[in-house]
Chains A and B, each alone.
Chain A
């Protein structure tokens, strides 16, 4: 916004119409976008519009009877808060209630089910070796396993079964096994981003097929029995199958999703890497080879080491024991095969993720696992925390205040006030449209403090015009005619505007980066209005002023234009005689 600093005065002097057209086109385009998207009002926060209230009850984890305490509840609140309000602009509220409840309030218009999944999911993530795997509920189509491999080195994926696996000619590492053994048309590949030495890794390709656990399987008889009895096609069974098992013990588990009507059941070894060792996770869209949404993870040092060790070991195993189960809350999200040791501390989970799933998963991995398990106790709608009457009163009061501002501007600036009011209108229109669009885009919700902040922003926006107008008037007082006065006033006013807006923007940026929750939401609004202020002054107020300065009404200083040199007390020659007696001229002599 502040980019076109230098030389702008020259260009806007000659082509003020272009800037005006530009900003008008921008407004029309944004407004069009707003109507097309169907979100014609900003999303309102829970204090203004109400929303959904979810009550979650904590349950003890097996083996940890005393886990429900204040510390853990507070941690859970923090984590949930960040999960539903990762960007800080969604105005969701999370608080404890009683000893073991957490209430989550989500503003109207949020996808309540998604939010419920987000807050209710424990997000205990483990990497467990697969000991045995078996499909259920559909025909078996032997296809290659997804594979895990390091990036940065070509890893051709020779497959035995004539599948769609291809090795990309670009040397791209992705072992593009496209379909899994159980007919899941999924690339469950886990790839490391790091670049270990190419060729150092055995090019173990995609391995085929569901093999029943070999006799020599380390799984115990008890587990075998459990495995045999496990019916992953049943929802209730899936939900509990892998839950409540200590990470240090082997377990059975189901896949989290079926594809082609098929579920997978697993026997999994003890957890090798804990999800808490994931330092950061991010959803991204893989535009190369396989395509689709994936989650990139970065491990902590410890996690990276463990991950390297376990991949080294697994890569030497026979299928399916070269597979890794990525187990989230007891269900296997992904079970890639390991092609070789993976070092470097980062990896990707790919799968048949939708964008939303990938983002949710990344979100949960980044913000950590909940220390407790929760179940949803009730979901109900709540009305606005701030009564409708208050909002109404606020609107009336705000409108009166704005009316007073307009009256003041008209009385003081006369003709000039048209420019100021037009600029304020443009600014208001842009703010409204952008806020409306940000609702669906990033979950931005407007709460009462933000509305008040926007009202103060009127002052800051108006200040930019006032600084500019006063500069122009000063120049006219020096005896200039309007057009040179405008061009001389602009660079100086511009500097003041940029310097002071920079301070506001700095405040917004720092607060947005550092803080969480409502403060972050505020910082966002402040930053947005500050940027819009600069945009409006540069692309609207200044060009409009330049154009109007050519009009007779303003240029000749009509007494209603607000630029009447006589009224402004300009020096030449009008007042020369009268002011000759004043010491001013004496001094000048």
Chain B
């Protein structure tokens, strides 16, 4: 009889081996899947996983895609460490994009050097405000944070759609729902000529290091870790749950807002209804793949960005249907999380019950 048994100690071997086993299982699955479709499996896997990193252009695009995922995942990692189940990064990102755009459009004819910093700050503050309301509701009325943050995602989305159809719509745009293109004074500088690698990517990486520093090197981070691991113990030690909750939620909101404002002032260059293809939700996967570690989030965000780009490339270069790409990505994530299960659990193959 096969049983699942909790390990007394997390397995240190599995910690290292888990992602490797997952990758091997996925590669085997991919070979079967693509062979069944009469596509060369090696070529398909190459396009999906290696091609996105094959030249400078693709690496630049991967970084562009990675940046909003990383911003959001760093904030979420801290939230989840502190047991604050913030599902609202998407809404906070959109709020940041909206708030930043409102300011950027004020500077449409300006060359002021303050234009860009003010725009970015507006985005960050908008993201913080958007996470502050559900936080207040939770701490004051004990409302369910998961539900309120999800609801706030929808409110942010519809507020944004209203804004691009109304006050922020391009007056010379024939009534189409998008803003005017931002001026150069409110556009993030490009770091590498000929690519789309913008300053926001650097901010995203810095944010991961800031998150890591706070979590590992400060007393505040210590409190967060204790609070997440053992709430009664943290309270006994006199740590303020309220203060920590406020901190992680505002930090997370700020980073998500930063991500949003970097998207509109960076690769998009204007406010459009589709600022985010769901970065705030994907960032939840990134945070968990990175094992709720801000630096782990860098690796995980790169990984997910590669997967998304590979999906488009597979359509372009090999005509692989988008649904099959989605299936492959889903299976990969499934194996990764399933293998992680065996870090803390193991299978036993006899009838003996051990405790």
Are A and B associated in one complex? no
**A contact residues vs B (CB 8 Å cutoff):** none
